Structure 1
Amino acid sequence: MLFQKYSRACAALFAFLFLLASAAQAQTAKLPNVTILATGGTIAGTGATSTTTVGYTAATVGVQALIQAVPEIARVANVSGEQVFQIASENMGNEHWLILAKRINTLLAQPNVDGIVITHGTDTLEETAYFLNLVVRSRKPVVVVGSMRPSTALSADGPINLYNAVNLAGSPQAVGKGVLVAMNDQIHAARDVTKANTTTTDTFRSTELGMIGYIQGGKPFFYREVTRKHTVESEFDVSKLDALPQVDVAYAYANVGDVAVKALVAAGAKGLVHAGVGNGSLPAKTKPALVAARSQGVVIVRSARVGQGIVARNGEANDDQLDFVVSDTLSPQKARILLMLALTKTNSTKDIQRMFHTY
């Protein structure tokens, strides 16, 4: 009799444990599958002390350690991680972008991947995000995230930024919105966002056109749409590219001459973005070198160092006569990215100008 009671109790316990395991499996099955691709940066950095927020070493913590540091992520997504690079983002190059873009497109083509998070250093985060915005071939969410303080700091912003980014990447609301940047509880479009402060945690801002949403309580709230084409609407394909054309930026300032333009052309630039003063003005000492470069086949894009506003075609220069392109509202660093991709398809300035008014 005692044995029968014991057997029934054990059976009941096993049944209860089985139900608990089944419920846990069912809950896990309902969660989105998010892959974290780690590239290094401050979010993976360490400092000498807990108060070290400058002068730390970037790119020392691996992706699995980043994930383990935020156990709450497991409640909102089935997360896997890959260490694609381990670099400070000032060292991010074209070759890294091509590797990253191809890996993202491979992953997003798989039905068991719902979204991607890329951990990244903040120095060139906006450039990587915009490049991916033009070459990712999926509507699934791709979210780029970083931090301004290393993982060892008292008030490290990396863990909450990563948690928010995973929530965003797994959210149906983020589908079709292009590549996003999740920082400081805010959602930014890759095209518009820029790093605006050297050290503060609110450094990423879309100062001119505004952020597109907030993340509150782990949930995204969107307030505006991005109208420029991106991702699946883009005409750019990097699947067969092993390199990108050389495009450089020449910065304008008072008393600037032609040394930089001539040096960049001599170094092999196929395209040149002139970061002009004001509305992309061409200084008298620089203009002849730009005209000469164009006559040699170098595509010239007039941009502005100002940071906001449209560079008006045929405004501060006769672009039709000079056969120049204008950058629209793109910053010089983002104009460089679009010009590189444009040159993989055409050398026609008319067609390239169309692209600048499209993306």
Structure 2
Amino acid sequence: MKNIAILATGGTIAGASHIPTDTVSYHSGVVPIEDILKEIGSLKNIANIICEQVTQIDSADMSHAIWLSLAKRINTLLAQPDIDGIVVTHGTDTLEETAYFLNLVIKSEKPVVLVGAMRPSTAISPDGPMNLYNAIILAAYPGTQGKGVLVTLNDTINCSRDVTKTNTALQDTFKAPELGYLGYIIDGHPHFYRMPTRKHTHMTEFTIDGLIELPPVEVLYGHVNDTGFLAQAAVTAGAKGIVYAGLGNGNMSQTMQTVFQQIAQQGVIIVRGSRVGSGVVTRNGAIDDDANNFVVTDTLSPQKARILLMLALTKTKNPKEIQEMFWNY
């Protein structure tokens, strides 16, 4: 059988409440991973399990420091011949961001699967145990190798680049708008229907060896009558890059164009994204990116564009080179 390491970080899957009908005001990240595993009776039939409690937090408290520590631990484990795959338990609020970060810095073809839950472990019908069971199955499945970091909840398989949380409360919240699921887990068997096409994990140019912090990058949300004050404040506070969740196809007002032109001239990287939620932000579409030295996000959400920009800034400050990374990853 495969040897799967589970790294636990807390979240709703490790949440608890005194009331079994409470699925809102529970406490996240309080149940140890060993207790969660006790809810799954047939683990010995699918994989040999080792587990580590990396941290116990609400995923709103996830940090760059934890990201770097987690990624380095995963790389260390996957370099061992006796470890075949990794499952990371995580809160759903920032799960998609952690998954995409790992997708860019893990240096192995072995499976890495992130999993969470929308109901705490004390609920009448918690989704965590089944989600975790499926995650272990997915990590142990030979066909998962080489597909990058994956996310599974509610019997679905998602690419970490495309997946996002789409609903604040429902169990089927994790989806890939327009691009769709990679597949499903049906009766304990993964079924893939499409493949990730962008570079990931061992194919990327990003390394975290010796990296102790990530360059500061902020996300700003576009709106009517935007003044640019927050953008200027971000630069004053030390931001090396700004992702603008712009209007429509990454559009912005004349005021914001002027503000971002001035900021770009100071060497700060400006990335045009969209607040829409899906679709492609096209280069030289709504704005003349070539003239302004702006970068566009392609289909990345603003929060994931921020992750790629932070890692890109560890390699270069050239907007043209960074744009190529957005096409590749």
SS at match of 1:130: helix
Letter in 1 for 2:245: A
Question: Which residue number corresponds to residue 312 of structure 1?
Answer: 282
Question: Which residue number corresponds to residue 259 of structure 2?
Answer: 289
Percent identity, please: 57
Aligned residue runs from structure 1 range 81-160, under 5 A? 81-160=51-130
Question: Which residue number corresponds to residue 154 of structure 2?
Answer: 184
Letter in 1 for 2:129: P
Question: Which residue number corresponds to residue 325 of structure 2?
Answer: 355
Question: Which residue number corresponds to residue 195 of structure 1?
Answer: 165
SS at match of 1:69: coil
Normalised by the size of structure 2, how large is the TM-score?
0.99
Aligned residue runs from structure 1 range 124-273, under 5 A? 124-273=94-243
Letter in 2 for 1:263: A
SS at match of 2:277: coil
Stretch deviating more after TM superposition (203-212 or 253-262)? 253-262
Q: Deviations over 1:300-331 (max 9, x none)?
A: 00000111111110111110000010000000
Deviation at 1:222, TM superposition (A): 0.5
Letter in 1 for 2:161: R
Distance 2:78 2:32 in 1: 22
Deviation at 1:207, TM superposition (A): 1.4
Aligned residue runs from structure 1 range 61-72, under 5 A? 61-72=31-42
Question: Which residue number corresponds to residue 8 of structure 2?
Answer: 38
SS at match of 1:275: strand
Letter in 2 for 1:175: Q
Q: If each structure's helix is expressed as a fraction of its own residues, which one has the higher value?
A: 1
Distance 1:36 1:350 in 2: 39
Distance 2:209 2:46 in 1: 32
SS at match of 1:211: coil
Structure 2 unaligned regions, length at least 5: none
Distance 1:186 1:329 in 2: 21
Quick check: 1:57 aligned with 2:30?
Answer: no
Distance 2:209 2:188 in 1: 34
Distance 2:151 2:260 in 1: 35
Distance 1:74 1:119 in 2: 19
Distance 1:72 1:52 in 2: 28
Q: Deviations over 1:188-217 (max 9, x none)?
A: 000000000000000000112000010011
Distance 2:114 2:65 in 1: 18
Deviation at 1:254, TM superposition (A): 1.6
Deviation at 1:39, TM superposition (A): 0.4
Question: Which residue number corresponds to residue 47 of structure 2?
Answer: 77
Q: Deviations over 1:324-347 (max 9, x none)?
A: 100000000000000000000000
Deviation at 1:293, TM superposition (A): 1.1
Deviation at 1:73, TM superposition (A): 1.7
- Correspondence for 1:333 among 287, 291, 303: 303
Letter in 1 for 2:77: L
Q: Deviations over 1:1-51 (max 9, x none)?
A: xxxxxxxxxxxxxxxxxxxxxxxxxxxxxx110000000000000012110
SS at match of 1:117: strand
Distance 1:41 1:95 in 2: 17
Alignment: residue pair count: 329
SS at match of 1:357: helix
Letter in 2 for 1:131: F
Distance 1:69 1:81 in 2: 15
Deviation at 1:70, TM superposition (A): 1.3
Quick check: 1:275 aligned with 2:245?
Answer: yes
Normalised by the size of structure 1, how large is the TM-score?
0.91
Distance 1:128 1:63 in 2: 19
Deviation at 1:284, TM superposition (A): 2.3
Letter in 1 for 2:145: V
Deviation at 1:155, TM superposition (A): 1.3
Distance 2:66 2:268 in 1: 25
Letter in 2 for 1:170: A
Letter in 2 for 1:102: K
